[in-house]
Amino acid sequence: MDSSDDQQVISAVMNGNVNAYNILVQQYQKPIFNLMYRITGSYEDAKDLAQETFIKAYEKLDHFRMGARFFPWLYTIGYNHARNFVQRSKPFQQSSDEDFEKNTRLDYPSQQEERVLAQIDFLRIYQALEQLPMDYREAVILHYHEGLSMEDIATALQLSVSGAKMRVHRGIKKLREIILGDDHETERSALADS
């Protein structure tokens, strides 16, 4: 669904067709839920926050500027809502690997070995992402995972475009540092064992 489809759906919702909102929720529930999960580390909290985000967005739909892209706007609402939740209710929670594995349906390489290797890579990247500051992590994910442009990332994270570029660029560098650091640790352990 492209941006113009979003606009049509939003127009229908604004004209009183509440069921049309169903399409937007279906379309964006996965990235919004994953955003909440990354921030809270809790499956239940992520579910509640995702639900509240969509309800909030529905209530604020009158303020949505037609012609703009819906997802960055929705993401801004969700991002702010999740940050408020974390600041208000509890300290930052780290999600557990078990939680990740339990809820992840890896539909990737068919061969078992490749599947395990892929899982290891993804777990490592996921753990590394968790170590990034929140706005760096979200900028990297929005760009490389959600495929958003720098302008849309700037909208979603309420930054300037140059600020968004900086966070994406530095975010990927920091990720590399974290992952390479882990690799070096592993190599050192292996050498010590031998």
Partner 1 sequence: MRQKDPLWQTVDSKTAGSEDKTSKQEKRQVPFLNNQMEQLSDKDLQIAHWVQKMPDLEPPSNLLTSVMQAIQPKKLPWMRRVALWAGSPKSFTFTPMRLAPIAMVLVGILFVSGYWVLRQKDFGFYPKQAESNIPVVFNLNIPEAHAVAVVGTFNGWQPRGYEMQFNPEKQIWSLTVRLPEGRYEYAFLVDGQRVLPDPEASLYQDDGFGNENSVMILRMKNEKTT
Chain residues that interact with partner 1, rule: CB under 8 A: 1, 13-16, 18-19, 21-22, 25-34, 37, 43, 46-47, 50-51, 54-55, 58, 61-62, 71, 100, 103-108, 118, 121-122, 125-126, 129, 140-141, 143-150, 152, 165, 168-169, 172-173, 175-176, 179-180
Distance CA 102, CA 57 (A): 30
Task: Give the shortest CB-193-to-partner 1 separation in angstroms.
Answer: 25
Nearer to partner 1 by C-beta: 81 or 143?
143
From residue 139, alpha-carbon distances to 24, 103, 128, 169, 184 in Å are 22, 23, 14, 9, 26
Side-chain-side CA neighbours of residue 6 (13 Å): 20
CB of 86 or CB of 128, closer to partner 1: 128
The nearest distance, CB 72 to partner 1, in angstroms, is: 11
**Complex with partner 1: residue 14 or 116, whichever CB lies closer:** 14
**Which residue lies nearer to partner 1 by CB, 42 or 80?**
42
CB of 159 to partner 1, least distance (A): 15
Helix orientation angle between 70-89 and 43-59, rounded to the nearest 10 degrees:
130
Closest CB to partner 1 among residues 87, 94: 94
The distance of closest approach from Cβ of residue 189 to partner 1 in the complex, given in angstroms and rounded to an integer, is 21
Residue 194 burial class via C-beta count within 10 angstroms: exposed 0-12, middle 13-18, buried 19 and up: exposed
Least Cβ distance, residue 33 to partner 1 (angstroms): 4
State the burial class of residue 28 (Cβ atoms within 10 Å of its Cβ: 0-12, 13-18, 19+).
Answer: buried
Instruction: Please provide the DSSP assignment of 141-178 as one string.
Output: IIIIIS---HHHHHHHHT--HHHHHHHHHHHHHHHHHH
Residue 113 has phi, psi (to 5 degrees) of -65, -45
CB of 127 to partner 1, least distance (A): 11
Q: 107 in helix, strand or coil?
A: coil
Q: Quick one: 176 or 188, whose CB is closer to partner 1?
A: 176
